[in-house]
A and B are shown apart, each in its own frame.
Chain A
Amino acid sequence: MPKTIPKDSVGIVTPQCLHFDEPLTLRSGKVIASYDLMVETYGTLNAAKSNAILICHALSGDHHAAGYHTDADGKPGWWDTCIGPGKPFDTNHFFVVCLNNLGGCAGSTGPTALNPDTGTFYGPDFPVVTVRDWVNSQLRLMHRLGIDQWAAVIGGSLGGMQVMRWSISYPEKVRHAIMIAVAPTLSAQNIAFNEVARQSITADPNFHNGRYLEHGTYPKKGVMLARMVGHITYLSDSAMREKFGKSVDDPNSQAITSPSIKSNFGRDLRSGTLSFGLDTDFQVESYLHYQGERFSERFDANTYLLMTKALDYFDPSVDFDGDLSRTFANSNCRFLLISFSSDWRFPPERTREIVDALLEARKAVSYLEIEADQGHDAFLLPVPRYMEALTTYLRRVSAEVNGHAVESTEVRT
Chain B
Amino acid sequence: MMRPDLDIIQHWIAPGSRVLDLGCGDGSLLEYLKNTRQISEIGLEIDANNIHQCLSKGVNVIEQDLNKGLQNFGDKSFDTVLLTQTLQAVNYPDVVIDEMLRIGRNCIVTFPNFGNWRSRLYLLRKGRMPVSKFMPYQWYDTPNIHFCTVRDFDVLCREKGINVITRTVVDHHHQGNWYIKLWPNLLGETAIYHISR
Contacts and interface: CB of A to CB of B under 8 A. Distances in A.
Interface in A375-413: 385, 388-389, 392-393, 395-396, 406, 409, 411-413
Nearest to B71: A356
Nearest to A369: B63
B53 interface: yes
A406 B63 contact: no
B151 interface: no
A366 B60 contact: yes
B49 A411 contact: yes
A71 interface: no
Contacts of B56: 392, 395-396, 406, 409, 411
A24 interface: no
Interface residues of B, number: 21
A168 to B, nearest CB: 19
B52 A360 contact: no
Contact of B52 (A359, A367, A389): A389
Contacts of B63: 367-369
A364 interface: yes
B38 interface: no
B166 interface: no
Contacts of A54: none
Interface in A307-354: 334, 352
A392 B74 contact: no
B72 A356 contact: yes
Nearest to A355: B62
Contacts of A392: 52, 55-56
A352 B55 contact: no
Given A366-B61, A367-B62, A393 B55 contact: yes
A396 B54 CA distance: 11
Contact of B40 (A356, A362, A395): A362
Interface string B29-69: 00000000000101000001101111110101111100000
A335 B37 CA distance: 22
A365 B62 contact: yes
Nearest to A368: B63
Nearest to A395: B56
B73 interface: yes
A107 B22 CA distance: 49
Contacts of B58: 396
B48 A412 contact: yes
A367 B62 CA distance: 5
The listed residue with most B CB atoms (<10 A of its CB), out of A356, A367, A369, A389, is A367
A368 B51 contact: yes
A395 B58 CA distance: 10
B52 A411 contact: yes
A411 B48 CA distance: 10
Nearest to B43: A366
A113 to B, nearest CB: 42
B129 to A, nearest CB: 28
B48 A366 contact: no
A278 B62 CA distance: 50
Contact of A364 (B53, B60, B72, B74): B60
Given A352-B72, A360-B74, A396-B56, A385 B48 contact: yes
B18 interface: yes
A396 B55 CA distance: 8
Nearest to B46: A369
B163 interface: no
B77 interface: yes
B55 A366 contact: yes
B196 to A, nearest CB: 20
B26 to A, nearest CB: 10
A3 to B, nearest CB: 35
A393 B53 CA distance: 10
Contacts of B73: 359
A411 B26 CA distance: 12
The listed residue with most B CB atoms (<10 A of its CB), out of A369, A392, A413, is A392
Contacts of A352: 72
A360 B77 contact: yes
A369 B46 CA distance: 10
Contact of A411 (B40, B53, B61, B62): B53
B55 A359 contact: no
Nearest to A356: B72
A388 B51 CA distance: 11
A359 B48 contact: no
Contacts of A366: 54-55, 60-62
Interface of B: 18, 40, 42, 48-49, 51-56, 58, 60-64, 72-74, 77
Interface of A: 334, 352, 355-356, 359-360, 362, 364-369, 385, 388-389, 392-393, 395-396, 406, 409, 411-413
7 contacts: A359-B42, A365-B60, A367-B63, A369-B63, A411-B52, A411-B53, A412-B52
Of all A-B residue pairs in the complex, the 5 with the closest CB atoms, nearest first, are: A356-B72, A392-B55, A411-B52, A367-B62, A392-B56
Given A334-B60, A367-B63, A411-B56, 4 more contacts: A360-B77, A366-B54, A389-B55, A392-B52
